[in-house]
Amino acid sequence: MKSAQAKIPPNYVLDGRYEMLEALGQGGMAHVYLAYDRERGNNVAVKLMRDELSDDPEFIRRFATEARAAASLDHPNIVKVLDYGQDGDIRYIVQEYVEGTNLKELIKEYGALSWDLAVPLMMQIGMGLEHAHRRGIIHRDMKPQNVLITPQMTAKVTDFGIARASIANTITLTGGAAFGSVHYFSPEQARGGAVTERSDLYSLGLMLYEMLTGKLPFDGDSSVAVAIKQLQEMPMRPSKVNPKIPPGLDIIIFKAIQKSPERRFSSAREFVGELDRFMLNPRAYFESFPPQAQNWSSSSAALTTDKGSSNYGKIEEIERNINRRRRSRLRDYILTVVIVILAVFILGYIIKVAINNFSLGSNTEGDESIIVVERYIGQNISEVESQLQQIYGDKYELIPVKSETQDKGVIFEQNPSYGTKLRKEDAHISLKYSVGKSEVIIDDVAGLTEDEARSRLESQGINPVLRREGSELIPAGNVIRTEPAAGDSTYEGARVLLFVSAGSERVLMPPLEGLSYAQAEYVLEELNLNLRGENVHYNEAGELEEPPRELRIVVRQKTNADTELRSGTTVFVEYGTQEDYQLVLQGIDLKEAARKRADREAHQQATLHLVQPRAGVMPNLLGMTIDEVRAAMQHVWPQDAPAYSIATQGEAKSVAEAGVVVVRQSIPAGNSFNPYTDTLFVFFDYR
């Protein structure tokens, strides 16, 4: 199988690891397949570059950019990239497989979503984007189709296909092809301006509008018509489209979709914070918001001014806006004329080439004066050079190009294209081939300011990724070091960690025990502290085993709460599962408990032929005191079986205290169990 242009056959094993099961769909850049990961033993989603893009160097570069950008993200509300690579001519990205649907399909199915469902979903989307923004990555194509919704109503942002670091070139509608969806474009994207994190927030505002109303805020007969509306108009107030929407959401959406980026929320964190404040008291939110922000206008946001401004100022602003629109219409007219002229020219050229090819084709058979250009893309330059010399003599050109996506020596572009017929006396060809990645020696930027160091590394073609770290010696804002270190070699486009001093600022260590690992990361990130975790979870065999990320709980922190730390310090914790945490609260050593459990398992296996396991049905223990539990369990739990575990949670100090009853049991009531092989946890708390 030479390329991804042919349909992937069932059970095809990609790169010797991913067994392709079925096609899931396709997007602007890739086909998506459900596959089985033979190494991990689970299902994954595999994205393969689309057929027509496999020979396009620009799309190949962007495909690789997607993989590198997305692989650096690790957040519960972002679809995780597990692997990426190349199998022959097939370029692929492996992502976690998310069961469910996407947000667009959810809106189509239910129409307008209830605000108490839409707002929590949008808060999850915002938290995922905030994580990406902190790592210098702007999505640039936020739309409902790029948000997956699980059956548990968890939102996961996907498809960073056109995301690039915030220093990269912007996406425009005027530079040829426009990537992304114009219905969710920010005004600065539509006009080709600088794209920032606030551009993503504008798209979130439009998405929230659609979620609440079931309708697109802006629509038109063409992409240009929609883009013009994005530049000049405000949509109808959401609560007028759907009267069930609380007025506070009108205000939040209004601020998110301001035409001027400076008037929007400053960050995804602020946007999520406002939604959270709204959810705490939806009715009181409207009154507490600044009055000027409640002035929803159906005209351009450029016309919205504060109440205290001069009428003359308003008139001047209106006149400037009218003149701006006139210039915009003139530009549109000129652009249309230019496009028509170019189209006529291109059409004439195509007709001319077709006539020439037809005249050549009618005389090709048996005519040695005609050369049909072969396909050289994908071949190595060393394999075809002698053939080129034989066919074209000295009328061929080999152009070396640095490339981080193509193997060294591989041809990735040719002119004329495959199949073109040429007269022998006029025959010529030029081929571009890769000379591999360009090696770069990392400059020493220690001591420079953050901006100076970024500029220095970017001028080398390196992608700096910011990390802050406390330092007593280096002033705040200056660079401490890089990883890899100065003087080490890397390649153009590679990520280099840039550690910048956060100064000697002191913060208090927060309590982390009992929090999920993701919550602990979030809390420490707010304090500019770094988290480093050690797994202490043991499986039934008494061996250390990594629990799934969503089940990880901080069971012990190495630094006590309220200890004063320097900003940027790395904090070390131990994590396991909720059951591990309950055992630690009881003072039980996890390693010793695991060893005893393994010994017990081994003993049970060795004496299995002597012991007849007795199955039972678990009674309902919820609401019982400790004495009632013991009375109920003595009928179903034999004395020679391993003891079940009793634990407290919440503020309970002792299971013997008055008012403390069972609030949770690990084996549900009515389930059958084997007391010799199953473990029962009984949790108590106050009524």
Find the largest Cα–Cα distance for the chain: 104
pLDDT tens readout for residues 243-258: 999 888 998 999 999 9
Q: Tokens for 361? A: 């084709």
> CA torsion sign, 669 to 672 to 674 to 677?
negative
Residue 551 has pLDDT above 60, yes or no: yes
C-alpha radius of gyration, the chain, whole number: 32
Q: Measured between alpha carbons, how far is 29 from 145 in angstroms, rounded to an integer?
A: 14
How many helices (H) and strands (E) the chain has is answered by 17, 31
Same domain, 137 and 238: yes
Where do we find the tokens 């406390």?
A: 470
Residue 19 sits at φ, ψ, to 5 deg, of -90, 115
Same domain, 141 and 275: yes
Beta strand spans in 88-204 (E):
90-96, 101-102, 137-138, 147-149, 155-157, 164-165
Where do we find the tokens 């992409």?
A: 223
Q: Are strands 645-648 and 681-686 parallel, antiparallel or unpaired?
A: parallel
Same domain, 413 and 469: no
Residue 52 has pLDDT above 70, yes or no: no
Query: What's the pLDDT at 474?
Result: 85
CATH classification of the domain holding 576:
3.30.10.20
**Would 592 be classed as within a structural domain?**
no
Where do we find the tokens 């004395």?
A: 639
Domain span at 322: 305-362
**Would 602 be classed as within a structural domain?**
no
pLDDT tens readout for residues 403-431: 766 778 889 889 888 888 888 877 889 99
pLDDT tens readout for residues 64-109: 766 777 777 888 899 988 888 888 778 888 999 998 899 999 999 8
Helix (H, G, I), strand (E, B) or coil at 189: helix
Among 499, 550, 495, 560, which residue's Cα sits nearest to residue 528? Answer: 499
Which of 80, 97, 114 lies at the terminal end of a domain, its last residue? 97
Contact 630, 680 (CB under 8 A): no
- Of 188-202, 203-217, 338-352, 653-667, highest mean pLDDT: 203-217
Helix axes 197-213, 268-280, angle to 10 degrees: 30
How large is the average pLDDT for residues 147-157? 91
Same domain, 53 and 155: no
Contact 401, 433 (CB under 8 A): yes
Query: What's the pLDDT at 180?
Result: 45
Other Cβ atoms closer than 10 A to 341: 10
CATH classification of the domain holding 15:
3.30.200.20
Where do we find the tokens 């000379």?
A: 435
**Would 599 be classed as within a structural domain?**
no
Where do we find the tokens 């539990």?
A: 629
> CA torsion sign, 75 to 76 to 78 to 79?
positive
Contact 536, 561 (CB under 8 A): no
Q: Between the CA of residue 484 and those of 126, 179, 222, 438, what are the distances in Å?
A: 32, 34, 48, 17
Among 235, 216, 208, which residue's Cα sits nearest to residue 297? Answer: 235
**Would 280 be classed as within a structural domain?**
yes
Q: Between the CA of residue 520 and those of 510, 517, 524, 544, what are the distances in Å?
A: 9, 5, 6, 22
Sheet containing 479-483: give its strands across: 463-469, 495-501, 479-483
**Would 637 be classed as within a structural domain?**
yes
How large is the average pLDDT for residues 603-621? 64
**Would 93 be classed as within a structural domain?**
yes
Residue 298 has pLDDT above 50, yes or no: no
328 vs 263, residue with greater confidence: 263
**Would 548 be classed as within a structural domain?**
yes
Same domain, 158 and 259: yes
Please give the full DSSP string across 377-398, using - where no structure is assigned.
Answer: TTSBHHHHHHHHHHHHTT-EEE
Same domain, 670 and 522: no
Query: What's the pLDDT at 1?
Result: 39
Same domain, 484 and 518: no
The reply to whether 141 belongs to the active site is yes
Strand partners, 35: 20, 44
Residue 411 sits at φ, ψ, to 5 deg, of -80, 130
Same domain, 315 and 384: no
Q: Tokens for 11? A: 């059970």
How large is the average pLDDT for residues 386-395? 85
- Which entry of 55, 83, 141, 159 is annotated as an active-site residue? 141
B/e letters for 79-95, b = 16+ CB within 10 Å, e = fewer, are: bbbbbbeebebbbbbbb
Same domain, 256 and 331: no
Among 422, 431, 421, which residue's Cα sits nearest to residue 388? Answer: 431
Query: What's the pLDDT at 324?
Result: 63
- The CB-based long-range contact list for 289-296 (8 Å cut-off, 24+ gap) reads 289/248, 289/251, 293/251, 293/254, 293/255, 294/247, 294/250, 294/251, 296/234, 296/237, 296/250, 296/251, 296/254
pTM of the model: 0.45
Helix (H, G, I), strand (E, B) or coil at 146: helix
**Would 297 be classed as within a structural domain?**
yes
Q: Tokens for 355? A: 């006539």
Please give the full DSSP string across 24-73, using - where no structure is assigned.
Answer: EEE-SSEEEEEEEETTTTEEEEEEEE-GGGTT-HHHHHHHHHHHHHHHT-
Same domain, 3 and 138: no
Strand partners, 566: 506
Q: Between the CA of residue 132 and those of 64, 187, 305, what are the distances in Å?
A: 17, 21, 33
Query: What's the pLDDT at 591?
Result: 85
The total number of structural domains that make up the chain: 7
Q: Measured between alpha carbons, how far is 86 from 15 in angstroms, rounded to an integer?
A: 8
Same domain, 627 and 679: yes
Q: Tokens for 422? A: 């040429």
Among 510, 505, 535, which residue's Cα sits nearest to residue 521? Answer: 510
Same domain, 407 and 421: yes
- Of 223-232, 295-304, 336-345, the poorest mean pLDDT is in 295-304
Other Cβ atoms closer than 10 A to 679: 16
